[in-house]
Chains A and B, each alone.
Chain A
Amino acid sequence: MSGRRSGSGVSSISDDQITHLVFKLQQLIPELCARRSHKASASKVLQETCDYIRNLHKEVEDLSDRLSQLLASIDTDNDQAAIVRSLLM
């Protein structure tokens, strides 16, 4: 048992690491962003993360639908690309 002493040191480091990563996740998710001042529970963050990813997937699907209607041809011509680039700059 005493031989495992050093083990607890390592586990608290990775515990901090995980806490920190979970906090970073929290900052990314708009639902939880408002609560920046204090940390949400890890399980709540995970739950919101899953919901958020699902939402993002759905948005990609919807945008692909819209784009397939808007873009008469797959050839996104230079005008559109230029506009988008300037929007991104």
Chain B
Amino acid sequence: MRSPFSLKQEFLKKWILGLQRCRSSKKNMSIFERKKVIKLSADVAMASARKGTTCWSRALIADAVKEGNADKHLAEKILGPASERQPTEKVPVGAMAYNKRIRSKKILKRSSVIRRTIKFAPQAARPSSIVKTLVGKRRQILRSLIPGGEFMNGVSLIEETLDYIISLRAQVDVMRSLASASKLVNLN
């Protein structure tokens, strides 16, 4: 079981790295810009701390660098040079890499969902009472809350939710610590 402390340290390390990568434009940044950088680098750091092992983390990063995303360039800056990024599958580095990566990630996600659904197919044919609660509005809401949730189902949805909540909590704890630490430092 991953220790929560090492997760926080991993997150902090990656977050600061991402922030430093945006350092060059800090001088003229508005508060709004700063907030965007802080939040985005925190989200990306949280996702990359998982090293591509979970669906939501891959989806989060894929969405961040998706074509048409307003903050795509910011996200790419934060993630750093492609050679340093956590590979989720072997892709050629280059201009076409992003599109290919996103497409192959989607295929990978879909195939893993299919694999899981096939495994539990008999159950899906006759939903039990527990599984029944997983259909309908609440499941839709849960899926909308988790990055990449639209591709998840049943058991994998709950597993991803568990991991996502643990990561979110670590993220919030570290950010809160930094906020109190900053207050202390500023007061001095």
Q: Which residues of A contact B (CB under 8 A)?
A: 4, 6-8, 10-12, 14-15, 17-19, 21-22, 24-25, 28-29, 41-43, 46-47, 49-50, 52-54, 56-57, 59-61, 63-71, 73-76, 79-81, 83-85, 87-89
Contacts and interface: CB of A to CB of B under 8 A. Distances in A.
B120 to A, nearest CB: 5
28 contacts: A10-B120, A11-B128, A12-B128, A14-B154, A15-B128, A17-B155, A18-B158, A25-B158, A52-B165, A53-B142, A56-B168, A60-B168, A63-B175, A64-B39, A65-B35, A67-B178, A68-B34, A69-B31, A71-B34, A71-B38, A73-B23, A74-B26, A75-B23, A76-B16, A81-B16, A84-B177, A84-B181, A87-B177
Given A15-B123, A80-B178, A84-B12, A70 B183 contact: yes
Contacts of A67: 35, 38, 175, 178-179, 182
Interface string B142-156: 100110000000110
Contacts of B20: 74-76
Contacts of B162: 21, 24-25, 28
A60 B122 CA distance: 40
A42 B133 contact: yes
